[in-house]
Amino acid sequence: MKHGTLYEKTSGKKLLREVWKASTGWERMRGLIGRPPLTADQGFLIEPCRMVHTIGMRYPIDLAFLDAAGRVRKVVSALPPGRISGSLAATATMEFAPGTLHRIGLRPGDTLLWQEI
């Protein structure tokens, strides 16, 4: 799994210091299942990914669905365990600790940039 940092592309502001990127089939399929909850400064990027589920998870997550340019197309706050969410316009999904979307002010139209460390 790759490791990087997440930025808001237009301003260059660092949003999260520790973001893992799942790109293999196994990494995407497993996602956060069986992992400890993300902290406020962590995230999990799944690419390609249009839809995620929280079946088998014990905690909620915030989500941002991104298009090919990294533009946020849809956000979901605190998706509880046992649910499914997605966006047909998305090519990637960014997962956050619950409350992160509000804390960093992320909304549709913002553009994200993940950079490998």
Q: 56 near 107, Cβ under 8 Å?
A: no
Mean pLDDT taken over the chain: 95
| More confident position, 32 or 8 | 8
Residue 21 sits in a domain of what CATH number? 2.60.120.1140
Query: Tens of pLDDT along 76-115?
Result: 999 999 999 999 999 999 999 999 999 999 999 999 999 9
Residue 63: domain span: 2-116
Number of domains in the chain: 1
Pairing of strands 14-22, 42-46: parallel
